[in-house]
Amino acid sequence: MTRRSLELAACGVGQVSPSPLVGCAIVAENGEMVGEGCYIYEKLTHAEVIALNQAGEKSKGATAYVSLEPHAHYGRTPPCTEALINAGIKRVVCPIEDPNPLVAGKGFEFLRQSGIEVVTGILQAEAERQNEKYIHWHKAKRPFVHLKMAISLDGRIATRTGDARWITGEESRKKSHELRHEYDAILIGANTATVDNPSLTDRSGRKRRRKLVRVVLDNTLRLSPNSQLVLTARETPTIIFTDNETDEKIKLLKDEGAEVVRIAEGGRNLFGVLQELGKRDLQSVLVEGGAEIAGAFCDAKLIDKVSFFIAPIVIGGRDAPPAIGGQGAQVLASAMRLHDVEIVKHAEDLELCGYPSWYE
């Protein structure tokens, strides 16, 4: 049933950030599933309360399977722990603590003090993976950064003439939009913004709690006021990071609705960029390129997850841009290596996803 609580929690993807994903399943003493719930922000009701309301009187003596520690503090809603206690729940099975300092073990402690048995650690890795962005945010105090690239078999992202549409197939591109739906912000560099003139929207067709924030690192303010990103900035939040002090150009961009943020070293100051995004409660960032931006994040060791969509095509040519620019590793021993690697097939393409391990 813990797995069922994780499945229920997944229903809230894109609809809860900066809150965590939470699912709850109530099983009566006779083994009957009597209530299920998934937290979605707009409903103003937490997963535990939804499940308890479904279960009604059958909650007495039942076991609640919850994907994340129930909270014991007052926020937008009353504490979930109180709801569980008042409903007569006898046992709570939950894989992990909530790292939020307002919770962080207090929910479990309150339940135990009230005579409820609490079991933890079941499917812990899966639960941590499901809320990896939220957990990282509270532990690292910066947004979770996911690098996504579409590449050829020989590691290129375009031909030597700049032709890049499309390296991967339709199924891979559909999965890319599903990824965008999972993230608070999407980030590119000025070169990609200028050459590709992208819209950078979430076209998954699914509901979002907040609009996807578009971020451009543009030290010299090359981005045209007539670009898709700027022209649609009033409808879709767009933040441009720069160290350029040309007030006239900044005014043009702001007049179109874009937010221009001046920071020391502009887009080269990646940690500063992430700090600024964090101040806006953006817990996760999907980096979509180009090569120099990807390389800069790798050189700074600020990548938390990687997804490569690999097409069965060889581009060739020494002048064709590689997937990763920057300085790179001096020796193989210091190269970024991936662990917990998963490979998924999308028609003829492969998606390789993993988590970096950094070696000195």
Supply the pLDDT for residue 253: 94
Cross-strand partners of 181: none
In this structure, what CATH number is given to the domain that contains residue 332?
A: 3.40.430.10
Task: Clarify whether residues 11 and 110 are in a common domain.
Answer: yes
Asked whether residue 259 is domain-assigned, the answer is: yes
Supply the pLDDT for residue 267: 73
Strand order in the sheet with 117-120: 33-38, 23-27, 63-66, 91-94, 117-120
Task: Clarify whether residues 258 and 347 are in a common domain.
Answer: yes
Task: Clarify whether residues 106 and 160 are in a common domain.
Answer: no
Asked whether residue 158 is domain-assigned, the answer is: yes
Active-site residue, from 7, 32, 42, 48: 48
Last residue of a domain, one of 108, 131, 154: 131
Asked whether residue 342 is domain-assigned, the answer is: yes
Asked whether residue 320 is domain-assigned, the answer is: yes
Please tell me the distance from the alpha carbon of residue 150 to that of residue 169, in angstroms, as a whole number. Answer: 10
Section 219-231 average pLDDT = 93
Supply the pLDDT for residue 76: 73
Cross-strand partners of 261: 241
Render pLDDT for 118-135 as a digit per residue (tens, 0 to 9): 999 999 999 999 999 999
Last residue of a domain, one of 84, 99, 131: 131
Last residue of a domain, one of 131, 162, 181: 131
Task: Clarify whether residues 125 and 204 are in a common domain.
Answer: no
Task: Clarify whether residues 146 and 125 are in a common domain.
Answer: no
Render pLDDT for 326-360 as a digit per residue (tens, 0 to 9): 999 889 888 999 999 999 999 999 999 999 987 54
Render pLDDT for 3-23 as a digit per residue (tens, 0 to 9): 999 999 999 999 999 999 999
Asked whether residue 137 is domain-assigned, the answer is: no
Supply the pLDDT for residue 164: 86
245 — pLDDT class (breaks 50, 70, 90): confident
Task: Clarify whether residues 123 and 74 are in a common domain.
Answer: yes
Range of 290's domain?
142-357
Render pLDDT for 74-98 as a digit per residue (tens, 0 to 9): 777 788 999 999 999 999 999 999 9
Task: Clarify whether residues 28 and 169 are in a common domain.
Answer: no
Task: Clarify whether residues 121 and 156 are in a common domain.
Answer: no
Radius of gyration of the chain (CA): 23
Render pLDDT for 305-316 as a digit per residue (tens, 0 to 9): 999 999 999 999
In this structure, what CATH number is given to the domain that contains residue 32?
A: 3.40.140.10
Task: Clarify whether residues 117 and 150 are in a common domain.
Answer: no
Among this protein's residues, is 109 annotated catalytic? no
Asked whether residue 180 is domain-assigned, the answer is: yes
Asked whether residue 82 is domain-assigned, the answer is: yes
Q: Could you give phi then psi for residue 174, rounded to 5 degrees?
A: -65, -40
Strand order in the sheet with 337-346: 259-262, 238-242, 213-217, 185-189, 284-287, 144-151, 305-310, 349-357, 337-346
Percent of the chain with pLDDT over 70: 99
Supply the pLDDT for residue 360: 47
Task: Clarify whether residues 313 and 332 are in a common domain.
Answer: yes
Average pLDDT in the chain: 93
Asked whether residue 136 is domain-assigned, the answer is: no
Task: Clarify whether residues 71 and 155 are in a common domain.
Answer: no
Section 160-180 average pLDDT = 92
Please tell me the distance from the alpha carbon of residue 163 to that of residue 183, in angstroms, as a whole number. Answer: 27
Task: Clarify whether residues 172 and 127 are in a common domain.
Answer: no
**What is the number of domains present in the chain?**
2
